[in-house]
Amino acid sequence: MRNYKIFLEFNESLCPKFIDSALTEIIICWLPQDLENMSWASKMYSISKIGDRCLMVWLSGEEAQTIEKMDFSKLKSDLINAVKKILKAPDLPDPVNIIPTRWHQDPFSRGSYSFISAQSCVGDIEKLAQPIYSNPAQEKPNLLFAGEACHTSYFSTTHGAFLTGRKAALYLVDSDENSIKEVDPSKKLCNL
Ligand SMILES: Cc1cc2nc3c(=O)[nH]c(=O)nc-3n(C[C@H](O)[C@H](O)[C@H](O)COP(=O)(O)OP(=O)(O)OC[C@H]3O[C@@H](n4cnc5c(N)ncnc54)[C@H](O)[C@@H]3O)c2cc1C
């Protein structure tokens, strides 16, 4: 699992004293000298504000796997120092709670999700998500695809999966809401 999140909970609001109230996420760009004795942080690429008292640090790549095996007290102190440095807030209080994910070790969290590679584009997602009909005159499709990989904006996410599932279902049900089932016959993908 190449995905790791750490939630930092504080007992006081961080806004606006330590973080601008309007800020939602900081994308990190490390310099090599920033990572001395802290190589695990090289793939720590963002800090998101999850409410006024909670931050989420996001790591990816191989480091996300190795970090789960690290000594947690070293990780905690490195992390707090890194966050203070990134926020330029040396007086930031210590978090009252630090909750890391353990997805790599969790038998119920296996798996992965799609991404747009350098060789692909949003158009590929649109093609993947197209319903397939037996013939252009057919009102309802024979085959539908749903799941996060079918959403052009929210691929990789649970809400993307939900929305595409809902959209696929709307092709099949009779409902006033179901305007999407009226697909232009000339645009129907038939019998691939
Ligand atoms: C570690 C991790 C952390 C994540 N964190 C977040 C997050 O914080 N926020 C967020 O929005 N998203 C997150 N995601 C992504 C999110 O989990 C996925 O985008 C979402 O679950 C995708 O839903 P889905 O229905 O498209 O696919 P899946 O949830 O992958 O469902 C596909 C299902 O199909 C089954 N299946 C596969 N092949 C077959 C087959 N041949 N026959 C029958 N069944 C089959 C699988 O077992 C699975 O149950 C995370 C994913 C991972 C792996």
Q: 139-157, pLDDT tens digit by residue?
A: 889 999 999 999 999 999 9
Does the global pTM surpass 0.75? yes
Token pair of 56 as six digits: 């989420």
Of the candidates 133, 129, 130, the residue with the CA atom closest to the CA atom of residue 148:
129
Say which DSSP state 16 is in.
T
Query: Can you tell me whether residue 79 is helix, strand or coil?
Result: helix
Pocket of ligand 1 (CB under 6 A): 1, 3, 103, 109, 111-113, 147-148, 156-159, 161
Q: How confident is the model at residue 115 (pLDDT cuts 50, 70, 90)?
A: confident
- Spatial distance between the Cα atoms of 111 and 158, rounded to a whole number of angstroms: 13
**Ligand 1 center–CA 112 separation, angstroms:** 7
Q: What angle do CA 83, 87, 92 make, to 5 degrees?
A: 70
Of the candidates 4, 10, 27, the residue with the CA atom closest to the CA atom of residue 98:
10
Say which DSSP state 94 is in.
P
Instruction: Indicate the average pLDDT of the chain.
Output: 88
Neighbours of 53 (CB within 10 A): 17
Q: Which helix (H) or strand (E) holds 76?
A: helix 72-87
pLDDT at 110 over 80: no
Q: Which helix (H) or strand (E) holds 172?
A: helix 158-172
Domain edges within the chain: 3-105, 122-190
Domain 3-105 indexed as CATH 3.40.1830.10? no
> Which atom in ligand 1 lies closest to the alpha carbon of residue 103?
1
CB 43 within 8 A of CB 60: yes
- Spatial distance between the Cα atoms of 102 and 76, rounded to a whole number of angstroms: 15
> Which atom in ligand 1 lies closest to the alpha carbon of residue 160?
19
List, for residues 23-78, the tens digit of each pLDDT value: 999 999 999 888 888 888 888 989 999 999 999 999 888 877 788 888 888 889 98
> Which atom in ligand 1 lies closest to the alpha carbon of residue 150?
26
**Ligand 1 center–CA 58 separation, angstroms:** 19
**Ligand 1 center–CA 63 separation, angstroms:** 21
- Spatial distance between the Cα atoms of 78 and 37, rounded to a whole number of angstroms: 9
